[in-house]
Amino acid sequence: MTLLSVRDLRVTFGTADGDVHAVKGVSFDVSPGETVAIVGESGSGKSVTANSLLRLNFGADVRTSGQVLLEGRDILAMSDEEVRHVRGREVAMIFQDPLTALNPFYSVGRQIGEAYAVHHPEASKKELREIALDSLHKVGIPEPGKRIDQHPHEFSGGMRQRIVIAIALVNSPKILIADEPTTALDVTVQAQILELIAAMQAEHGSAVILITHDLGVVAEITERVMVMYAGRVVESAAVADAFVTPTHPYTRGLLKSVKSLDSVRHERLESIPGIPPSLINLPSGCPFHPRCAHADSLAGRCSTEVPELRRVGPGSSACHLPDERLLNLLGGAHER
Amino acid sequence: MSGEVVLEARSLVKWFPTGSSKLLNRPTDMLQAVDGVSFSLDRGTTLAVVGESGCGKSTLGRLLARLIEPTSGSVILDGTDVTAASSKELLALRRDIQVVFQDPYACLNPRHSIGQSIGTPIRIQKTLSRAGEKERVRELMGLVGLNPEHYNRFPHEFSGGQRQRAGIARALALSPKVIVADEPVSALDVSIQAQILNLMEDLQRQLGLSYVFIAHDLSVVRHIADRVAVMYLGKIVEIGDPESVYDTTAHPYSRALLSAVPVADPRNASRRTRIVLTGDVPSPVDPPSGCRFRTRCPKAEARCATEEPLLVDAPGRRAGEHLVACHFPD
């Protein structure tokens, strides 16, 4: 059964310099309880895709098309009132920076209670306080009875992110969208938060859509990964497949650029040459072709024809190279 | 490795006053950002300083370049005491030690062309004529992989990675001996990080540079470090050759830090045992007694609360190869 189905999502921002095509035809499905990661670098369209799921792309000139079907209901076609019932209740979101996500003027207990009260107007003050207390306890805040009346500035970065998670989960949403939830945190705190997200997911049975640039984080907690580049999904596969035998040259390049703990001193890192393209003036054909080592081998096809996402091996890849070459991008043995 | 020391820190201490009493007209608390850090850096090599937010690594970097004054202790650059230098002497010393900052967006003046920004140290130090400066800047741009024809472009016309290249070119303008790089790749995309790390390695080989490379995660420094120092709450808890520090980690904090690094290999992820530390880093205004890590340490015993562990040779290592500050090292 499909919980969320995104069909041909396109998002364009009109700017003074021209149209920015942030998302160019993204489709994917999420099943209940599943963890899916969307990976990409700055400007790949991963955050815009995530924001679209709750219609959170704001701006003077935002054009969105396609469908975001939550159990068959199209979020993009809903009235503002209907979307408000989805936000925070059926689909909740955790943002990167927990300090800006929280209101500095209100106690954390009040903010958790408020998130519940929005969807449960009948709840009494006493009930709300109990719910907040219970939430703080569940996300591992020590001494919740004392901390409930404190304000965000009295918490550390990791504790604040726990509170943001408590707010997101207070209505037991079906889907939790986590946009770079650990990027602003230290690495030991990141480990704590990833464990918490996994534990909370197990408890609530929510599906998690994780947006990140960190392939390590993906490998730690998700089952399926979509790699985005210049507004398109270029590879989609199970993590166990994509990271061991990547079937898109960009994914391969990303994996090779990742710094490894067991490398040798002064070993040269393999890097992807060039820089990500401008979303206003995308290269013709495959958006990755100016940086791709294989682009010359197909007699100009890469610079003229946009590759569609197609089935390659156990996953899918948007590349013109023949399957047997895509399945062997790492040159036989996985030597990392 | 030549083994000749180019930069040395001796018992560096930096306390920042925080909170103040109007009545006594003096600060009431001291934030102990760096508390007794000593190390030496060999010419042509890289020392990586690793730690989490608030461990004092950036303050240490600033002290080395004397961007801030130490509370006590000294920095010796090629035999000269940087911390005792007069402002005139300091100007000359700055030719030998330069800094690359983390945020390539904030470190370039948006109203200056890239060429102007890269040439700023030359103008301040008056080492070259105007024409000579232009020539040198073009040469530097080529060296770091920027197109010298883009001399007159402004920072907003460049990507993050290109701006960081400009930041590196500016640091190289006076041909320094030592570069302090404070998280030079943390703000960059993964594919660009690798480009910048490779560039820094190439420049080190070509120009014989010595680096103090500050980072918050151990995986970045694995590729470039000849020596790794792990900091916690203002102190070095472990320092040594990378092979020794990574493969036979001696300090429980370093172990936790290493195990927390997410690995992009699903086959590895399940095999590793992760040490998840409980709680947060204590406040540097009021650090724990004895060993500062004891409040989060899985091995802590009564002795750790009373006696501060000294940074000494880890058991079974050659003298100086690998030092650790722990009562119960591995």
Looking at the complex, report in whole angstroms how far the Cα of residue B94 sits from the nearest Cα belonging to chain A. 28
More confident residue, B190 or A169: A169
Whether the CB of A220 is below 8 Å from some CB of chain B: the reply is: yes
Instruction: From chain A, pick out residues whose CB is under 8 angstroms from the CB of B276.
Output: 188, 191-192, 195
pLDDT band at A8 (very low <50, low <70, confident <90, very high): very high
Predicted confidence at residue B269, as pLDDT, reads 55
Q: Taking CB atoms and an 8 Å cutoff, what residues of chain A touch B57? A: none
Looking at this protein, which amino acid is placed at residue A310? R
- A99 lies within 8 A of chain B by CB: no
> Which chain A residues are within 8 Å of B219, Cβ to Cβ?
258-261
What does the buried/exposed string (b/e) look like for B68-93 if buried means 16 or more CB atoms within 10 Å of the residue's CB?
eebbebbbbbbeeebbebeeeeeeeb
B23 reaches A (C-beta below 8 A): no
So what's the pLDDT on residue A335?
40
| B161: contact with A, CB 8 A cutoff | yes
Specify the DSSP element, H or E, that contains A14: strand A4-15
The CA distances from residue A269 to A205, A252, A315, B47, B160, in Å, are: 40, 13, 27, 19, 19
CA distance B188 to chain A (A): 9
Q: Which residues of B touch A192 (CB under 8 A)?
A: 276-277
Average pLDDT over residues A294-320: 91
pLDDT at A240 > cutoff 70 = yes
What distance in Å separates the CA atoms of residue B291 and residue B252, rounded to the nearest whole number?
Answer: 12
pLDDT given for residue A259 in this prediction: 75
Which range is least confidently modeled, A99-103, A155-159, B27-31?
B27-31
Band (A42; pLDDT cuts 50, 70, 90): confident
Residue A156 has what pLDDT?
Answer: 86
Condensed to tens digits (0 to 9), the pLDDT of residues B245-263 reads: 999 999 999 999 988 888 7
Q: Do B261 and A216 touch (CB under 8 A)?
A: yes
Q: Say which residue, B3 or A253, is predicted with more confidence.
A: A253
pLDDT class for A306, splitting at 50, 70, 90?
A: very high
Of the listed ranges A182-186, B148-152, B293-297, the least confidently predicted one is A182-186
Distance from CA of A228 to the nearest CA of B (A): 14
DSSP 8-state symbol, A298:
G
**Residue B268's pLDDT is what?**
64
B133 with B119: CB under 8 angstroms? yes
- Residue B2 pLDDT more than 60? no
How far apart are alpha carbons B183 and B50 in whole angstroms?
10
Angle at A111 between CA A110 and CA A115, to 5 degrees: 115
Cross-sheet strand order for the sheet of B210-215: B97-100, B178-182, B210-215, B46-50, B227-232, B235-240, B322-324, B312-313
**At A297, is the pLDDT very low, low, confident or very high (cuts 50, 70, 90)?**
confident
* Cβ-nearest to A188 among B52, B224, B226: B52
Instruction: Locate A303 and state its tokens.
Output: 């610079």
Type and span of the H or E element at A227: strand A224-229
Is the per-residue pLDDT at B20 higher than 70?
no
pLDDT average, residue stretch A197-224 = 90
Q: Which range among A235-239, A241-245, B97-101, B311-315 shows the weakest confidence by mean pLDDT?
A: A241-245
Tokens representing residue A31 in the block: 């099943």
A327: contact with B, CB 8 A cutoff: no
Is A266 in contact with B274 (Cβ distance < 8 A)? no
Give whole-number Cα distances, B161 to A119, A149, A222, B171, in Å.
Answer: 45, 44, 29, 15
Q: Which two tokens stand for residue B318?
A: 């050659």
Q: What is the mean pLDDT of chain B?
A: 90
Q: What are phi and psi of A320, to 5 degrees?
A: -75, -15
Q: Contacts of residue A336 in chain B, CB cutoff 8 Å?
A: 265
Does position A178 have pLDDT exceeding 80, yes or no?
A: yes
Query: B5-96+176-324 maps to which CATH number?
Result: 3.40.50.300
Helix (H) or strand (E) run with residue A19 in it: strand A18-30
How far is B41 from B78, CA to CA, in rounded Å?
10
Tell me which amino acid residue A194 is. L
- Measuring CA to CA, how many Å separate A335 from each of A126, A241, A332? 59, 15, 9
Q: Cβ(A260)–Cβ(A237) under 8 Å?
A: no
DSSP B129-141: -HHHHHHHHHHHH
What contacts 24+ positions apart, CB below 8 Å, involve B82-86? Answer: none
Contact of B193 with chain A, judged by CB distance below 8 Å, is answered with yes
Instruction: Dump pLDDT digits (tens) for B146-202.
Output: 999 999 999 998 988 999 999 999 999 999 999 999 999 988 888 888 899 999 999
In chain B, beta strands by DSSP E: 5-21, 26-42, 46-50, 72-77, 80-81, 97-100, 178-182, 210-215, 227-232, 235-240, 312-313, 322-324
What tens digit of pLDDT does each residue of A68-109 get?
A: 999 999 999 999 999 999 999 999 999 888 888 999 999 999
pLDDT band at A263 (very low <50, low <70, confident <90, very high): confident
Residues A196, A161 contacting (CB under 8 angstroms): no
How high is the pLDDT of residue A333? 41
Chain B: residue whose CA lies nearest to A251: B191
pLDDT of A220: 83
B175 burial type by CB count under 10 A (0-12 exposed, 13-18 middle, 19+ buried)? middle
Instruction: Select the more confidently predicted residue: A185 or B101.
Output: B101
Name the phi and psi angles at A93, rounded to 5.
Answer: -135, 140
Task: Quote the ipTM score.
Answer: 0.80
Residue with tokens 């004397």: B66
Handedness of CA A265, A268, A272, A278 (dihedral sign): positive
**Cβ A244–B266 below 8 Å, yes or no?**
yes
Nearest CA in chain A to B185: A259
Q: Is the pLDDT of residue B43 over 60?
A: yes
Q: Residue A39's beta-bridge partner residues?
A: A212, A227
CA distance B229 to B155: 34
pLDDT band at B277 (very low <50, low <70, confident <90, very high): confident
Q: To the nearest whole percent, how much of chain B has pLDDT over 70?
A: 95
User: Would you say residue B33 has pLDDT above 50?
Assistant: yes
Confidence of residue A157 (pLDDT cuts 50, 70, 90): confident
Average pLDDT over residues B136-148: 95
Model pTM score: 0.87
Closest CA to B255 of B232, B282, B271, B279: B232
According to the model, what pLDDT value does residue A25 have?
94
